[in-house]
Copies of this chain bind each other. A is one copy, B any other.
Amino acid sequence: MATIKDIANKLGIAVSTVSKGLNGASDISDDMRQLVLDTAVEMGYASKKMRTTTTRKVCIFIENMDYENIDQFGYDIIVGFKLSAARRHWEVTVVPSSLTLQTEEKYDTYMLKNGYSGAFFLGFTLHDDWVMQLNKTTVPSVLLDNYIERNNHVGYVGTDSDEGIDLAVDHLKELGHKKIAFLNGSKNSMVSDQRYSAYVNSMKKHGLSLDENLIEFGYYVPDCAKYHVPSFLKSGATAIICASDLIASGVIAEVKKHGLTVPDDISVIGFDDLPIAAQLSPPLTTIRQDRIDLGKSAFLLLDGLIHNVSISKLLQRAKFIKRQSTAPCKIK
């Protein structure tokens, strides 16, 4: 591992100058400080503070996700992460991300500068600057619902869609449904791909035939229901599995618009078990992602990466939550 002396030799400057650069002293120029930091990152330098166990800091970067109130998706994930981190005596900082943050500085530099040993990314897409830098980072990093290939320092945490969707199909088949439609989230999302193949596999496993008129990609918003529910109904669907609770809320509204009743005419199942799921009318049968556990698992994975255990994927069990939006199929 590179030392302060290595950095000084490489740059041809004094060890004390390198030290000032790394510690943010004010008596060197901003340019010199930046050069020292960039060189330190390039050479894989980790400060003594980062290597010893006295200061142990990780952070959560969050964007495109609400988390400040208890009924928002990110809230419990952060709580779970902090609970697990506290048990191991790690300090956690939540850093709302922005375009500026990501363009101002390289990810590795930011992490070194702030003394973070690792990070958990919530709500990012593969097009974010920092996420694009993750295929080369040496900083332990965990992504929710996104996967980076071939980098031992990066892991992915998520909920097991296979088992989740399978639980939904299982339940509907028990109730006598055969024409089970699937309204997915947006294309080109890893989670949508997983839920799509989970649906296909589970339908086959249950001996139910696949009908392409009953499978659609939409978006992870309620509004997408109006584009797809009409054709589902036309094609004879008696049940609709949705890739999220928000989609399901739109589906219930759309079914009602057609003068039909949930669950008497059409059964609807969501995914996530957001706090709103139980408040819908009728209360939504759904597949729970345990968000506290997701947060705990994310820390567990990050802790593994920090200790050089190269975990690539960690999946959480999905749980079936029966409420009132599903009922026996009336059509024989």
Contact = CB atoms under 8 A, between A and B. Distances in A.
A56 interface: no
Nearest to A320: B150
Contacts of A300: 300, 303-304, 309, 311
B313 A314 contact: yes
A293 B311 CA distance: 8
Band of interface residues on A: 20 to 34
A313 B160 contact: yes
Interface in A289-316: 290, 293, 296-297, 300, 303-304, 307, 309-316
A300 B152 CA distance: 17
A290 B311 CA distance: 11
Contacts of A296: 304, 307, 309
Number of copies: 2
Contact of A311 (B167, B303, B310, B317): B317
Contacts of A316: 309-312
Nearest to A154: B317
A149 interface: yes
B312 A152 contact: no
Contacts of A297: 304, 309, 311
Contact of A313 (B84, B310, B313): B313
Contacts of A311: 297, 300, 314-317
A265 interface: no
Nearest to A159: B312
A161 B297 CA distance: 22
Given A149-B163, A163-B150, A290 B310 contact: yes
Contacts of A304: 296-297, 300
A160 B314 CA distance: 11
Contacts of A315: 311-314
Given A300-B304, A300-B311, A311-B314, 12 more contacts: A152-B317, A163-B312, A293-B309, A293-B310, A296-B307, A300-B300, A300-B303, A300-B309, A310-B319, A312-B317, A313-B313, A314-B314
Lowest 5 A-B CB distances belong to which pairs?
A310-B317, A313-B315, A312-B317, A296-B309, A160-B312
Interface of A: 84, 149-150, 152, 160, 163, 167, 290, 293, 296-297, 300, 303-304, 307, 309-317, 319
6 contacts: A150-B167, A152-B319, A290-B310, A312-B315, A312-B316, A314-B314
